[in-house]
């Protein structure tokens, strides 16, 4: 098992936060969607349960990928299945994913579970080399192309705090502005009623997850 990713056990165990939660998909412009996630340094049963719940949400919402940022978790992990159907295709849970060797480019329409109903043409590499870990700490090195490569690149963008429309041309992005403005209005309405916490509370919650799973050290 690589030194940078350890499963729960032994001296590396850190008592987890006492927070309990049921995951839900957050919508633009929630601050966690713009937050660059930190690499995980350990995996425990709770993280595996979160990954399973993320897969459930992905299928329920007819998606092919879902990043931890999209469920308000600042953890470098995403789930995917290019078929979008449970029991069909390959189900992936990828930790600390990185890509290299991008080749070619093509433009295709993309959408996002965090902006349902919004679509746009995005240019991405045709093929990539993926490096990641699974939930058992096993290293993954694979060459990907076609739609799966696009799904992986889309989800890694999320982990870096980027949305698909951030990659669109200014002119194409402006065409989406009225739809995105509706999401902003809805967000502010929910925040005004207290159903979405303020930025400071969200930042404190993210930090608790980072202390548990990314090795973040908090100094006084």
Q: 194: buried, middle or exposed (CB in 10 Å: 19+, 13-18, 0-12)?
A: exposed
Q: Over the range 13-31, which residues count as b (16 or more CB within 10 Å of their CB) and which as e?
A: eeebeeeeeebebbbbbbb
Count CB-CB contacts under 10 A for residue 169: 11
Among residues 109, 151, 143, the alpha carbon closest in space to that of 127 is found at 143
Active site residue 4: no
Contact 165, 180 (CB under 8 A): yes
Contact 41, 71 (CB under 8 A): no
Contact 43, 8 (CB under 8 A): yes
C-alpha 84/C-alpha 92 separation (Å) is 11
Give phi and psi for 214, each to the nearest 5. Answer: -115, 0
C-alpha 36/C-alpha 213 separation (Å) is 15
Contact 128, 100 (CB under 8 A): yes
Contact 154, 67 (CB under 8 A): no
User: What count of residues does the chain have?
Assistant: 220
Which member of 6, 82, 110, 155 is catalytic?
155
Where in the sequence numbering do the catalytic residues fall? 155
């Amino acid at each position: 098992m690589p030194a940078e990713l350890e499963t729960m056990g032994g001296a590396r165990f850190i008592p987890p936060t006492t927070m309990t939660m049921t995951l839900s998909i957050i919508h633009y412009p929630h601050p966690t969607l713009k937050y660059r996630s930190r690499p995980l340094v350990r995996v425990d049963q709770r993280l595996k349960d979160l990954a399973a719940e993320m897969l459930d949400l992905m299928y329920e919402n007819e998606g092919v990928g879902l990043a931890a940022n999209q469920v308000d978790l600042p953890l470098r992990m995403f789930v995917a299945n290019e078929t979008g159907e449970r029991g069909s295709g390959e189900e992936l849970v990828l930790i600390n994913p990185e890509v290299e060797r991008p080749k070619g480019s093509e433009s295709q329409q993309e959408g996002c579970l965090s902006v349902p109903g919004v679509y746009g043409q995005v240019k991405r590499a045709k093929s990539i080399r993926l490096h990641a870990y699974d939930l058992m700490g096993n290293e993954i090195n694979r060459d990907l192309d076609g739609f799966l490569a696009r799904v992986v690149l889309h989800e890694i963008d999320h982990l870096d705090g980027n949305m698909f429309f951030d990659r669109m041309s200014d002119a194409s992005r402006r065409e989406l502005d009225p739809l995105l403005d509706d999401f902003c209005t809805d967000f502010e309405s929910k925040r005004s009623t207290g159903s979405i916490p303020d930025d400071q509370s969200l930042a404190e919650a993210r930090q608790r997850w980072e202390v548990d799973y990314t090795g973040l050290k908090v100094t006084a």
